[in-house]
Amino acid sequence: MDWERDLPSWPLSEFSRQVTVRPHRWHVQEVGEGDTVLLLHGAGASTHTWRDVIPLLAVGHRVVAVDMPGQGFTRVGSRSRFGLEETSEDLESLCRHCAWQPVVIVGHSAGAAVALRLADRLSDEGHEAPKVIGINPALSRFNGLAGLLYPLIAKALAATPLTAMAFTLGGGRLERARTLIENTGSHLNEEGIALYARLIGDRDHVDATLNMMAHWSLDKLLVDLPGLPLDCLFINGAGDKAVPPEHSTGLAKRMGNTRVVTLTGLGHLSHEEASTEVSKIVLDFVSCATV
């Protein structure tokens, strides 16, 4: 996405700025005052996914949303830094540079894995570990044949220079975006669909998303999770067709201090479909209220 061309019409662009912390030039949206709430989107999205959540959370909190490396308006500085461990390490550097010590990190889908690893990294002596909220968290390995083929396919796609071009050529982006979203079990308004259509029409964004997929591995995190001293909440959309809710429900049983809330009638993009309901759950959890 082009900063000069695309940002002026992007949601909440008045709160946008660029922060260069090696190896990336990050796109950050920051608004409000108080304890910090950090928002991390999933693969293929951007800060726009929080457009209706940010104003609700910003009443009484400082809210920070970040575009993942190469996605949205963040310019990637190294193509070897797309994996979970590398992304978490680079976000830690960004947080320390900006003096952010979030009380909670909210991650959607693959962003939930980053949130868990980042919260552990930010658990310094003298600082309480951030709470973690995973919205439809993608925290399980692919099963069976898909587990063998998917990483190989993603690596092959990411290694082919023309792949991003092939994904973004041609018309019908609005309908392609609508189909992709509905296949996750979610239903967005026309504004939401149009924003995703803009993203899937951007070659750099698509290329970065493919590279994130190609370098992604949860193996180390899944081994570490039961021993991480983190207070967690998983929010599942009961109709999520992308990440079956039972995956995170089963994982929560293996983790200490992890609760699960399941929302009926919502899909993978629950926070976009029901921003008020999800924001209330987040705020209640931050304030240690019962959810």
Domain of residue 222: give its range: 3-143+217-286
Residue 173 lies in a domain: no
Residue 78 CA to residue 170 CA, distance in Å, equals 29
What's at 26, amino acid-wise? W
DSSP 227: G
Residue 171 lies in a domain: no
* Best CA proximity match to 138, nearest among 110, 167, 117, 180: 110
Q: What CATH number is given to the structural domain containing 125?
A: 3.40.50.1820
What rounded mean pLDDT belongs to the chain?
A: 89
Residue 257 lies in a domain: yes
Residue 10 CA to residue 51 CA, distance in Å, equals 10
Does residue 151 carry a pLDDT above 60? no
* Best CA proximity match to 65, nearest among 15, 20, 125: 15
Better pLDDT: 146 or 64: 64
Sheet with 16-21, side-by-side order of all strands? 16-21, 24-31, 61-66, 35-40, 104-108, 131-135, 232-237, 258-263
Q: pLDDT value at position 67?
A: 98
Is the entire prediction scored with pTM above 0.85?
yes
At residue 291 the predicted structure's pLDDT band, cuts being 50, 70 and 90, is very low
Residue 163 lies in a domain: no
Q: pLDDT value at position 124?
A: 77
Does residue 264 carry a pLDDT above 70? yes
Residue 189 lies in a domain: no
Residue 85 lies in a domain: yes
The domain total for the chain is 1
Q: pLDDT value at position 169?
A: 55
Helix, strand or coil for residue 11?
Answer: coil
Interacting residues of 84 by C-beta distance below 8 A, sequence separation 6+: 113, 114, 117, 216, 217, 218, 220, 221
Strands 104-108 and 61-66: unpaired
Does residue 154 carry a pLDDT above 60? no
Strands 35-40 and 232-237: unpaired
Q: pLDDT value at position 170?
A: 56
Does residue 289 carry a pLDDT above 50? no
| Structure tokens, 263 | 């929302």
Residue 65 lies in a domain: yes
The answer to whether 286 touches 37, Cβ cutoff 8 Å, is yes
At residue 126 the predicted structure's pLDDT band, cuts being 50, 70 and 90, is low
Q: pLDDT value at position 273?
A: 98
Residue 235 lies in a domain: yes
Per-residue pLDDT tens digits for 174-203: 888 898 899 899 999 999 999 999 998 898
At residue 163 the predicted structure's pLDDT band, cuts being 50, 70 and 90, is low
Does residue 102 carry a pLDDT above 90? yes
Q: pLDDT value at position 125?
A: 61
Instruction: Return the axis-axis angle of helices 190-200 and 173-182, rounded to nearest 10°.
Output: 110
Would you report the helix, strand and coil content of the chain in percent, each value rounded to 5? 45, 15, 35
Per-residue pLDDT tens digits for 23-81: 999 999 999 999 999 999 999 999 999 999 999 999 999 999 999 999 999 999 988 89
What's at 146, amino acid-wise? A
Q: Label residue 266 exposed, middle or buried (CB < 10 Å: 0-12, 13-18, 19+).
A: buried
Q: Helix (H) and strand (E) counts for the chain? A: 13, 8
Interacting residues of 215 by C-beta distance below 8 A, sequence separation 6+: 82, 83, 86, 158
